[in-house]
Chain A
Amino acid sequence: GAVVSQHPSRVICKSGTSVKIECRSLDFQATTMFWYRQFPKQSLMLMATSNEGSKATYEQGVEKDKFLINHASLTLSTLTVTSAHPEDSSFYICSASDGLAGGLVNEQFFGPGTRLTVL
Chain B
Amino acid sequence: AQSVAQPEDQVNVAEGNPLTVKCTYSVSGNPYLFWYVQYPNRGLQFLLKYITGDNLVKGSYGFEAEFNKSQTSFHLKKPSALVSDSALYFCAVRDSFDRGSTLGRLYFGRGTQLTVWP
- The contact string, 1 if C-beta is below 8 Å from chain B, for chain A 72-106, is 00000000000000000001010101010111111
| B94 proximity list for chain A (CB < 8 A) | 102, 104
Interface size class on chain A is 20 to 34
| B36 proximity list for chain A (CB < 8 A) | 110
Interface size class on chain B is 20 to 34
| B43 proximity list for chain A (CB < 8 A) | 4, 6, 93, 95, 110-113
A49 to B105, CA, bound (A): 8
Does A115 interact with chain B (Cβ within 8 Å)?
Answer: yes
A34 to B46, CA, bound (A): 15
- Count A/B pairs, Cβ under 8 Å: 69
| A105 proximity list for chain B (CB < 8 A) | 32, 49, 51
Which residues of A (34-67) have their CB < 8 Å from a CB of B? Answer: 34, 41-44, 46, 49, 57
Does B90 interact with chain A (Cβ within 8 Å)?
Answer: yes
| A97 proximity list for chain B (CB < 8 A) | 104
A17 to B36, CA, bound (A): 34
Chain B nearest Cβ from A55, distance in angstroms: 10
Check A93–B104 contact: CB distance below 8 A. no
Check B110–A42 contact: CB distance below 8 A. yes
B113's nearest neighbour on chain A, judged by CB, is A41
| A4 proximity list for chain B (CB < 8 A) | 43
Other A-B contacts than A44-B90, A109-B46, 12 sampled, CB-CB below 8 A, are: A1-B46, A42-B110, A43-B109, A43-B110, A44-B44, A46-B105, A49-B101, A102-B94, A104-B94, A107-B34, A108-B46, A110-B44
Name A's B-contacting residues (CB within 8 A): 1, 4, 6, 32, 34, 41-44, 46, 49, 57, 91, 93, 95, 97, 99, 101-113, 115
Name B's A-contacting residues (CB within 8 A): 32, 34, 36, 41-46, 49, 51, 90, 94, 96, 101, 103-106, 108-111, 113
17 contacts between A and B (CB under 8 A): A34-B105, A41-B113, A43-B109, A44-B44, A49-B101, A95-B43, A95-B44, A97-B104, A102-B94, A102-B104, A102-B106, A104-B94, A105-B51, A107-B46, A110-B44, A110-B46, A112-B42
